[in-house]
Chain A
Amino acid sequence: MHTLPRRWFSLFAGALALLAAGSLLAQTPKKPLKIGFSQTGAESAWRTANTVSMKTEAEKRGIDLKFSDAQSKQENQIRAVRSFITQGVDVIVIAPIVETGWDPVLREAKRAHIPVILTDRTIKTEDESLYACFIGSDFYEEGRMAADWLAKFAAGKGNIVELQGTPGSAPANERRKAFADAITKYPGLKIIDSQSGDFRRAGGKEVMEAFLKKHSKAIDVVYAHNDDMALGAAQAIEEAGLKPGKDITIVTIDAINEAIQAIVDGRINCTVECSPLFGPKVYETAAKLVAGEKVPKKAYNKDELFDSSNAAAALPSRVY
């Protein structure tokens, strides 16, 4: 009778050893990465392209993607992150709808040792260690690229009118500041007027109409904070009997399909890409995080520039 507990013990130990060996064996073939992605919603073409990029890239890399559409509500995002934690994903990716209110749920993720990647927009938090890194678009760099392209194209001379985005929004602020900073190097380039077209096509058109009356022939260049306003401005210029792209140079940001087509047609001169294709960069970073490598706290998606030299070639491969 005394032997029984000992036998039980050896049996137990044997089973444990087997289990350990089994789990070691099971880990040798690489387990697919499990990633939870909480998207803001589907409010614009840019956002839709962003979602498609995340999904197709996950499929290509054999990543098990748990996708959650928050329909523009933060509480849905918080619920999604909680469910990602209980599902035991390897990495959580969030495109935060608002900046605040993230600390509690991010603390839960941290306790569960799941790294969090923020994309597209940042958050406000006291404790920066709650998220691993931020991957987004560099609005400032976009504005700088536009200014540098213009300086070269216009040989550093010209009167510019600026069509701003929605006042107070991050892309409008950054693109405005970057452009203004960059053209100080070229005393011949002057911003003679600047108004908001609210990122809208109708807004861009209306403001441009007013500018054309106010400054009549003095305008050489339009710098628009997004393509929609640039396309509206091009229409206003046409309706005033001038040729956009020839009589008035148009420089813009976003690189939606329609704008690239307009470059091919010669109605717009240059557009700087604000790429929604975050998939590759996000998953590379996620793989690094899982492997325990260090990643930079802030990383930007690489943006390209399109003008008459490369627009036609780029057009067929564009997805948004």
Chain B
Amino acid sequence: MKNPDSRPRRPVSPLVWLVAGLALLVLLNLTKNPAFLRVTWHDGHLFGTPIDILTQGSRTMLLALGMTLVIATGGVDLSVGSVCAITGAVCALTLQHGQSLAVTLAAAIGVGAAAGLANGLLVARLGIQPIVATLILMVAGRGIAQLVTDGQVLIIKHAAFEFLATGFVLGAPFAPLAVGALYLVSHAALRRTAAGLFIEAVGDNETASRFAGLAAARVKVLAYVFCGICAGLTGVLIAANIGAADGNRAGENAELDAIFAVVVGGTALTGGRFTLLGSLLGALLIQTLTTTMYNLGVAPAVAPVPKALVIVGVSLLQSEKFRALVARAWRREGRSGA
């Protein structure tokens, strides 16, 4: 490639374009509803649409955190939505049996880790394609959740449990704070140690990383276990948000949102490089998009179309080839004009 600049230019982070898309979306909302970004103090806590977006989006953010690592190893986890349904159901049961919040959370983490371990072993030890391996639990998991709840919606009346999704700490919503903290801890654990590098190495070239002395299979299993734990905790947030465990519908299509958030955030489905911040922003974009449809009053039957258009737009912005095409057309225009 011939570049007029002889100096190799540093590639622009894909996050820039994601943030640009997000900003455009917010601007669009502001033209229709100037109060879109207004945050007020109400009943002793922050109140407003941005707070809603953060609170509602925290669940997809949490799912996307685990999904990022799995995708970075070159895999994918389709079962996260069903795992959410199982952990929600298990939480409802433990709380109904009078167990403490700590036991309930431990149960949720345990169930999530077990699900992740099952996925990880199928993928890393038995060599089953990730889509197929996790599809098993995606389908069977709904059945398990239904079995646990006996096909009923279990009602949860537990103030401390519901606080996890709807509570406020010093006026700020708890769920996004907790998820944000998890992102920071994960970032430190992955980037301050070699763990992140190991995951990227396995995703880039599994064989080479194995020859380099990396326990590639173990790295993969651990990524799935981490993803399972994130899904388990998301199940807690989903159940706590509505004060009920719905085995049939909790976490429905959540896996697609999570995968989208990760990919639009700049982590390639082919594995290798990953960015946690990108996934976080990707999840934020999805939730902003959903809220935008409510705010603009788009009829629900046609809402998927503008949603898809925005997603295509952001993807195009991120595509280097597309940007090069536009830049070339722009330059040609400028030259003929001069």
Q: Which residues of A contact B (CB under 8 A)?
A: 42-45, 48, 164, 167-168, 193-196, 200-202, 205-207, 209-211, 213-214, 228, 231-232, 235, 239-241, 258
| 21 A-B pairs (CB sep. < 8 Å) | A44-B151, A45-B151, A45-B152, A164-B300, A194-B299, A196-B301, A201-B246, A202-B238, A202-B241, A202-B242, A210-B49, A213-B35, A213-B48, A235-B242, A235-B243, A239-B166, A240-B42, A240-B47, A241-B42, A241-B43, A258-B153
| B300 touching A167, Cβ below 8 Å | yes
The DSSP consensus for interface residues of chain B is: mixed
Q: How far is the CB of B81 from chain A (nearest CB, A)?
A: 13
| B300 touching A209, Cβ below 8 Å | no
Q: Which residues of B contact A168 (CB under 8 A)?
A: 301
The CA-CA distance from A228 to B242 in the complex, in Å, is 10
Assuming the contacts A43-B248, A196-B300, asked whether A209 and B56 have C-beta atoms less than 8 A apart, the reply is: yes
**Of B67-75, B90-98, B290-298, the one with at least 4 CB within 8 A of chain A:** B290-298
| B52 touching A213, Cβ below 8 Å | yes
Mark each residue of chain B from 299 to 311: 1 if its CB lies under 8 Å from any CB of chain A, else 0: 1110100000000
The CA-CA distance from A312 to B252 in the complex, in Å, is 34
Cross-interface CB contact of B291 among A48, A210, A231, cutoff 8 Å = A210
Cross-interface CB contact of A210 among B42, B52, B155, B300, cutoff 8 Å = B52
| B294 touching A210, Cβ below 8 Å | yes
Mark each residue of chain B from 235 to 260: 1 if its CB lies under 8 Å from any CB of chain A, else 0: 00010011110101110100000000
Q: How far is the CB of A230 from chain B (nearest CB, A)?
A: 12
Assuming the contacts A168-B301, A201-B242, asked whether A195 and B294 have C-beta atoms less than 8 A apart, the reply is: yes
Q: Which residues of A contact B293 (CB under 8 A)?
A: 195
| A258 touching B242, Cβ below 8 Å | no
Q: Which residues of B contact A239 (CB under 8 A)?
A: 166
| A205 touching B294, Cβ below 8 Å | no
Q: Which residues of A contact B35 (CB under 8 A)?
A: 213
Cross-interface CB contact of B242 among A44, A196, A205, cutoff 8 Å = A205
Mark each residue of chain B from 21 to 62: 1 if its CB lies under 8 Å from any CB of chain A, else 0: 000000000000101000000110001110010001000000
Q: How far is the CB of A191 from chain B (nearest CB, A)?
A: 11
Q: Which residues of A contact B42 (CB under 8 A)?
A: 240-241
The DSSP consensus for interface residues of chain A is: helix
Cross-interface CB contact of A48 among B151, B244, B295, B301, cutoff 8 Å = B151
The 9 A-B pairs with the shortest beta carbon distances in the complex, nearest first, are A196-B300, A210-B294, A167-B301, A241-B43, A201-B242, A213-B49, A167-B300, A209-B52, A202-B242
Kindly report which residue of chain A lies nearest to residue B253, judged by CB atoms.
Answer: A198
Mark each residue of chain B from 250 to 273: 1 if its CB lies under 8 Å from any CB of chain A, else 0: 101000000000000000000000
Instruction: From A168, A195, A213, name the one whose CB has the most chain B CB atoms within 10 angstroms.
Output: A213
Q: How far is the CB of B137 from chain A (nearest CB, A)?
A: 19
The CA-CA distance from A214 to B29 in the complex, in Å, is 11
Q: Knowing that A194-B299, A206-B56, A231-B244 are A-B contacts, what are 17 other residue pairs whose CB atoms are under 8 Å apart, sorted by A's residue number?
A: A44-B248, A194-B300, A195-B293, A195-B294, A196-B300, A196-B301, A200-B252, A202-B238, A205-B241, A206-B290, A207-B294, A210-B52, A213-B52, A214-B294, A235-B242, A235-B243, A240-B42
Cross-interface CB contact of B294 among A164, A200, A211, A258, cutoff 8 Å = A211
| B300 touching A200, Cβ below 8 Å | no
Q: Which residues of B contact A200 (CB under 8 A)?
A: 246, 249, 252
Q: Which residues of B contact A167 (CB under 8 A)?
A: 300-301
The CA-CA distance from A45 to B35 in the complex, in Å, is 41
Instruction: From A193, A201, A205, A232, name the one whose CB has the most chain B CB atoms within 10 angstroms.
Output: A201
Kindly report which residue of chain A lies nearest to residue B250, judged by CB atoms.
Answer: A202
| B295 touching A214, Cβ below 8 Å | yes
The CA-CA distance from A300 to B295 in the complex, in Å, is 38
Q: Which residues of B contact A258 (CB under 8 A)?
A: 153, 155
The CA-CA distance from A213 to B46 in the complex, in Å, is 12
CB neighbors of A among B132-172 (8 A): 151-153, 155, 166
